[in-house]
Amino acid sequence: MPKIVRFHETGGPEVLKLEELPLAEPGKGEVRIKVEAIGLNRAEVMFRKGQYLETPQLPSRLGYEAAGLIDAVGPDVTEFQIGDRVSTIPSFPMGQYGVYGESAIVPASAAAKYPDTLTAPEGAAIWMQYMTAFGALIEYGNLKEGDPVLITAASSSVGLAAIQIVKATGGIAIATTRGANKKAFLHAAGADHVIVTDEEDLVEKGMAMTSGNGVRLVFDPVAGPFLEKLANVTAAGGIIFEYGALAPHPTPFPLFPALAKGLTIRGYTLFEIVKNPEMLKRGKEYIYKGLESGSLKPIIDRTFPLAEIAEAHRYMVSNQQKGKIIVTV
């Protein structure tokens, strides 16, 4: 009887319960994974609270990213065998296929082998962060050498992935963080410039860093009133990718900067990429190449045992992390 994390009501981290459930068998087109490591994401915090794109059907599982060994394959699965070392690509309903636990079943299309040079915790820190950043910056943003890119909430796993992708392309990575305690870390992680938004004026500093031109691309999970500042620091014809909603306030549209500069302000999630077979293929090829070359390297902040899943969620919402939070199984 594997231990599985579920919640029977929406709410804070305390609603997460570790329960013993019968070992399930994979169905048609599915694989079962003996989980070794789980990667935490903000989406799971929002899902637990009932504030995500998908509404949980209680009691509900949760979790998008896990790494482990395939220990069973369902009918019509030909691309995987028992014993294959895989991690999961977030491309499925979380409530139906949540991966928090000792065992997880996912569609075979959501499983991907990962390099032998990576540990299981690193394997659980690949797809959400790199695919999200790839889709916005490479697939849609057409990032080029020399492009200045503003990356907000940059110490998150997705923010750090964006820094690595910008640097691998030859762009200029301008990272933001609220507190000065993360400034040195972000420079060490590859950021060319760091703006501490609690102490420095984002627009003034960002314009100075780009010789008054502004940034061509903005990659932002915060939204809220912050969006107006982002619009003011974006170059004419620039694109702002909004891929999250961390701000606790509504997001007013910055009409006048958008009109004056012809800005594109675009809602975006990685599901646009993973649900499109051609885009997904390009994303996987790009990420595998980066992992092989070393230009992409998952940064692990801290690990927790599965029994401390609630504490791991509390740590995530504390905003202390610098990279991916991992739960080991």
pLDDT per residue as tens digits for the range 280-303: 999 999 999 999 999 999 999 999
pTM over 0.85: yes
Top-tier CATH class for 3-125+298-328: alpha beta
pLDDT for res 225: 96
Q: What is the Cα 87 distance to its own chain's centre?
A: 14
Mean pLDDT of 20-35: 98
pLDDT of res. 138: 98
Q: What is the mean pLDDT of the chain?
A: 97
Q: Which residues pair with 177 in a beta bridge?
A: 196
Mean pLDDT of 61-68: 98
**CATH 3.40.50.720 describes domain 128-271:** yes
**Amino acid making up residue 92:** F
- In angstroms, the CA 206 to CA 209 distance is 5
Which residues belong to CATH 3.40.50.720 in the chain? 128-271
Give per-residue pLDDT as tens, 76-132. 999 999 999 999 999 999 999 999 999 999 999 999 999 999 999 999 999 999 999
User: Would you say 313 and 48 are in contact if contact means Cβ atoms under 8 Å apart?
Assistant: yes
One-letter amino acid at 83 equals G
C-beta separation of 69 from 34 below 8 A: yes
Tell me the two tokens of residue 231.
């619009």
Sheet of 148-151, strands arranged across: 193-196, 172-177, 148-151, 215-220, 234-242, 264-267
Of 30, 31, 37, 93, the residue nearest 62 (C-alpha) = 93
Determine the average pLDDT of the residues in 246-268.
96
Structure confidence at residue 304 as a pLDDT band (50, 70, 90)? very high
pLDDT in tens, 110-124: 999 999 999 999 999
- The whole-number pLDDT of residue 296 equals 98
Q: Give pairs for 74-79: CB < 8 Å, separation 24+.
A: 74/25, 74/26, 74/27, 74/28, 74/29, 74/30, 74/31, 74/32, 74/108, 75/27, 75/28, 75/29, 76/28, 76/29, 77/26, 77/29, 77/30, 77/31, 77/108, 79/108
Residues of the chain with CATH 3.90.180.10: 3-125+298-328
